Amino acid sequence: MIRLLLLHGHATDPEAIDRHYCEVHIPIAKKDKGLKKWIFGKVTATPDGSPPPCRIADLYMESNEEFESLLGLTGRLGRGCRGSEQFDR
């Protein structure tokens, strides 16, 4: 099992990030059967008090090959999620 944990940077507009996740990322993830499990969440604080990442995504795939076909440079989900101003920082 391959696990990818993504921390998305600091948000200047948290509501826009939430809308984007709900309207773009989650529907894309639901369509593809290659993801065996996925969890999206918010980070509300850090131990040292520094600004937390705005979102966290925990993605699970069966194999490295499945990871590459889903999220690699030419992967199905990677293509669908790229190009978003909110996440291209």
**Tens-digit pLDDT profile for residues 36-88:** 888 888 888 889 998 888 888 888 989 888 888 877 655 666 555 555 544 44
Which CATH number covers residue 57? 3.30.70.100
What is 3-46 written as a DSSP string?
EEEEEE---S-HHHHHHHIIIIIHHHHHH-TT-SEEEEE-----
Count: domains in the chain:
1
Helix (H, G, I), strand (E, B) or coil at 57: strand
pLDDT of residue 80: 53
Domain span holding position 79 = 2-87
The pTM score is: 0.68
